[in-house]
Amino acid sequence: MRVLLVEDAEELAEATQRRLARSGMACDRAASVGEARDCLAVQAYDAVILDINLPDGSGTDLLREMRAGGALMPVLMLTAQFSVDDKLSAFQLGADDYLVKPFDHRELEARLHAIGRRREAERTADLELADLRYNATAGIAMCGDQALKLTRREFALLGMLIRNAGQVLSKDRLHEGLYAFDDAVPGDNAIELYIARLRKKLSDSGVEIETLRGRGYRLAARPQDD
Query: In this predicted model, what pLDDT tens digit does every residue of 100-121 receive, in sequence order?
Result: 888 899 999 988 888 876 666 5
Whether this prediction's pTM lies above 0.75 is answered by no
Residue 89 has pLDDT above 60, yes or no: yes
Q: Which of 119, 153, 184 is the last residue of a domain?
A: 119
Is there a single domain that holds both residue 66 and residue 158? no
- Is residue 36 within 8 A of residue 30, CB to CB? The reply is yes
Question: Which pLDDT value is given to residue 24?
Answer: 82
Is there a single domain that holds both residue 105 and residue 138? no
Residue 226 has pLDDT above 60, yes or no: no
Q: Which residue has the higher pLDDT, 142 or 92?
A: 142
Residue 1 has pLDDT above 60, yes or no: yes
Q: CA 114 to CA 104: how far, in whole Å?
A: 16
Q: Which of 119, 142, 171 is the last residue of a domain?
A: 119
pLDDT confidence tier of residue 35, bands split at 50, 70 and 90: very high
Is there a single domain that holds both residue 146 and residue 105? no
Region of residue 49 (phi > 0: left; psi between -120 and 50: alpha; otherwise: beta): beta
Is there a single domain that holds both residue 138 and residue 208? yes
- Is residue 79 within 8 A of residue 7, CB to CB? The reply is no
Domain that holds residue 35: 2-119
Residue 71 has pLDDT above 70, yes or no: yes
Is there a single domain that holds both residue 210 and residue 152? yes
List of residues 6+ apart from 123 with CB closer than 8 A: 117
Question: pLDDT tens across 143-178, in order?
Answer: 988 999 999 889 989 998 998 888 888 888 888 778
Mean confidence (pLDDT) of the chain: 86
- Residue 226, domain member (yes or no): no
Question: Which pLDDT value is given to residue 208?
Answer: 94
Tell me the CATH number at 166. 1.10.10.10
Q: Which residue has the higher pLDDT, 27 or 24?
A: 27
Percent of the chain with pLDDT over 90: 45
Question: Which pLDDT value is given to residue 82?
Answer: 65
Contacts of the segment 115-120: beta carbons below 8 A, 24+ positions apart: 115/47, 115/74, 115/76, 116/1, 116/46, 116/47, 116/74, 118/74, 119/72, 119/73, 119/74, 120/163
Question: Which pLDDT value is given to residue 25?
Answer: 87
- Is residue 170 within 8 A of residue 215, CB to CB? The reply is yes
Residue 125 has pLDDT above 70, yes or no: no
pLDDT confidence tier of residue 184, bands split at 50, 70 and 90: low
Is there a single domain that holds both residue 130 and residue 114? no
